[in-house]
A and B are shown apart, each in its own frame.
Chain A
Amino acid sequence: MPVFLLKRFASFLATLAAASVVVFVVLELLPGNAAELILGDTATPESLAALEARLGLDRPPLERYADWVGGLLRGETGSSTSYDTPTAELIAERLQVTLPLALLAMGLTVVLALALGLYAASHHNKLGDVGVMAASQLGIAIPNFWFAILLILLFAVHLQWVSAGGFPGWVDEDSGAVTATSLFEALKALVLPAIALALVQAAILARVTRSAVLEVMREDFVRTARAKGLTRRQALWRHVLRNAMIPVLTVAGLQFANLITGTIVVENVFVLPGVGRLVFQAISNRDLVVVRDVVMLLAAVVVVVNFVVDLLYAWVDPRLRVA
């Protein structure tokens, strides 16, 4: 077990390091650096050199890379060129929207997918199964941002139950504290985006759940369990589910990466002040420092989630611990 853990941890660290090198090389070393972007094509060589010096771009690449990564590890990030605030502060503020949204969407995805997948599997080849499968085929084909627009059309434009976008913040403006009302209003602003994100993901995960459950239900040990007198339902809960979780976990882990990028898109549909909006404003402000740190954060999240999924495998299936 410790050897397995150490190996996984080493490859996790190596992946993170490689990701940081890629981000650094693409955003700092490829032709067209921050100073050129800010000053544009008409810049004189002197003004370019002056700005490069001010931004520290004239120092050797290795030194800049070491500074950047060292800063990230210590939590001291560079300052955004357009906001003049450390990027860590900017990102932390925006994560208050993005993180709850992603978690809400992931939770919804898993609940919906397991419910639909189990339902379809236990009604294999009956009307319910065919219905769920057809609906999920459609769900996979719907772009999440379009579904988000449709939700806005229905609930904001037509029914006028919610506003078409924006985020009121978690704290009450008058008292400056989190109140029941402010919490409710904030969650209300996140519900439609979370549904838009979850539906498409759940469609994929439901299919995986269904086929994994069907696969396991054919195993001998399930027949043995049934022969011992367990009902279908008991066999499903006690024996099938745990064994069917491996492919479900794999796909759910891969989906988290989609969810993160989906969050960027959906935040823009609903004008939510999250990390996704931040990175887009940074692109239009030509603020490479923010782009670099946000992309690094998002890539790191994907890597961390994949690592956690690996650990979960070992927890669910002890056979994998020897590998």
Chain B
Amino acid sequence: MTGFWRRALHHRSFAAGGLLTALLAAAALLSLVWSPYPPAEIDIPNKLQGPSAAHWLGTDSLGRDIASQLLVGAQNSIVVGVVAVGIGLGLGVLLGCIASARRGWVEELIMRASDFTFAFPALLSAIMLTAIYGPGLVMSIVAIGIFNIPVFARITRGAANAVWARDYVTAARAAGKGPLAITLDHVLPNIANQLIVQATISFATAILAEAALSYLGLGTQPPQPSWGRMLNEAQTQMFQAPLLAVYPGVAIMLSVLGLNLVGDGLRDLMDPKLARRR
């Protein structure tokens, strides 16, 4: 494992991505215990101020501190990413493993169902769900999570099928191991790398999707700060305070960039053959 970390530190994009991702996590953790101001604290006399010593990044149209909102907004992005990827990973890997272990019509059914789910991008599911249940963080997480299920099901099934074709699996079957034991002992450990890479990239996609949903007013609701909604509010003040529309976007961009770089880096580090070919 030390060899892995030594190589990781020398992998430039992985190191850069790791740093950005660590910053995101640090911002979220820090905001749990401290932020310069309470993020929802309204202070109309000090509205739309530029950056200063008192307000590092200025204030918005209600006088709320931008830096504080950005810090606390990181929590939101992480929660959405973790839960939405968790839903996709949990159900997708389960379905993919079943498809791969059972083959035949079960595999066909699961794979057709996941093809079908692609017809409903997260935004469409979110629109349907909010039309009935109203907007909110939970609805947006569910919508993004649903879309992640087929993503993981496909990857799991593809990678698991390759493992099932290996000689050591045949040997295990000859020795009398059942499908469940083979899946747990041989398939999952061998496909974990690919799943970790995909989870990192899906995390980034989830942050983007949540930001879009919040921007549209379908996601996180006030007073909980979210980067997407900050952009929506900033758009109405664009002529007076253009910078307000810049900060949250930079935060989203750096988070997504960091996670994508980590994902790409992990792929290289875990599969050196692939790295050499690129």
* Contact B123–A264 (Cβ < 8 Å): yes
Q: Does A104 contact B (CB under 8 A)?
A: no
Q: Does A241 contact B (CB under 8 A)?
A: no
Q: Bound complex: CA of A22 vs CA of B119, how far in Å?
A: 11
Which residues from B are CB-within-8-Å of A37? 132
B119 contacts which of A19, A140, A144, A286 (Cβ < 8 Å)? Answer: A19
Which residues from A are CB-within-8-Å of B1? none
Which residues from A are CB-within-8-Å of B103? none
* Contact B128–A27 (Cβ < 8 Å): yes
Q: Which of chain B's residues has its CB closest to A145's CB?
A: B215
Given A302-B121, A306-B118: A291 touches B245 (CB 8 Å cut-off): no
Q: Does A177 contact B (CB under 8 A)?
A: no
* Contact A142–B119 (Cβ < 8 Å): no
Q: Does B155 contact A (CB under 8 A)?
A: no
* Distance to closest chain B CB from A68 (angstroms): 15
* Contact A32–B238 (Cβ < 8 Å): no
* Distance to closest chain A CB from B263 (angstroms): 11
* Distance to closest chain B CB from A147 (angstroms): 8
* Distance to closest chain A CB from B227 (angstroms): 9
Interface of chain B residues 65 through 92 with chain A (CB within 8 A): none
* Contact B132–A140 (Cβ < 8 Å): no
Which residues from A are CB-within-8-Å of B42? none
Given A143-B249, A149-B235, A283-B127: A137 touches B261 (CB 8 Å cut-off): yes
* Contact B119–A164 (Cβ < 8 Å): no
Q: Does A1 contact B (CB under 8 A)?
A: no
Q: Does A18 contact B (CB under 8 A)?
A: yes
Q: Bound complex: CA of A283 vs CA of B253, how far in Å?
A: 29
* Contact B242–A153 (Cβ < 8 Å): yes
Q: Does B212 contact A (CB under 8 A)?
A: yes
Given A138-B253, A141-B253, A302-B118: A23 touches B242 (CB 8 Å cut-off): no
Q: Which of chain A's residues has its CB closest to B128's CB?
A: A26
* Contact B129–A26 (Cβ < 8 Å): yes
Q: Does B191 contact A (CB under 8 A)?
A: no
* Contact A269–B235 (Cβ < 8 Å): yes
Q: Does B131 contact A (CB under 8 A)?
A: yes
* Contact B208–A15 (Cβ < 8 Å): no
Q: Does A146 contact B (CB under 8 A)?
A: yes
* Contact A152–B119 (Cβ < 8 Å): no
* Distance to closest chain B CB from A166 (angstroms): 14
Q: Which of chain B's residues has its CB closest to A291's CB?
A: B131
* Contact A18–B116 (Cβ < 8 Å): yes
A261 contacts which of B115, B121, B211 (Cβ < 8 Å)? Answer: B121
Given contacts A149-B245, A283-B130, 19 further A-B contacts (CB under 8 A): A11-B112, A26-B128, A26-B129, A27-B128, A27-B131, A137-B260, A141-B256, A143-B208, A143-B256, A145-B212, A146-B252, A152-B235, A152-B238, A153-B238, A157-B239, A258-B121, A269-B235, A288-B132, A295-B124
A-B contact pairs, 21 of them (CB 8 A): A11-B112, A19-B120, A27-B128, A32-B132, A137-B257, A141-B260, A143-B208, A146-B211, A146-B252, A150-B245, A211-B278, A257-B118, A258-B121, A261-B122, A261-B124, A264-B123, A268-B216, A286-B131, A299-B119, A299-B120, A306-B115
Interface set of B (CB-CB < 8 Å, partner A): 112, 115-116, 118-124, 127-133, 204, 208, 211-212, 215-216, 228, 231, 234-235, 238-239, 242, 245-246, 248-249, 252-254, 256-257, 260-261, 278
Q: Which 8 A-B pairs have the closest CB atoms?
A: A146-B249, A141-B257, A261-B123, A141-B256, A291-B131, A261-B121, A299-B119, A141-B253
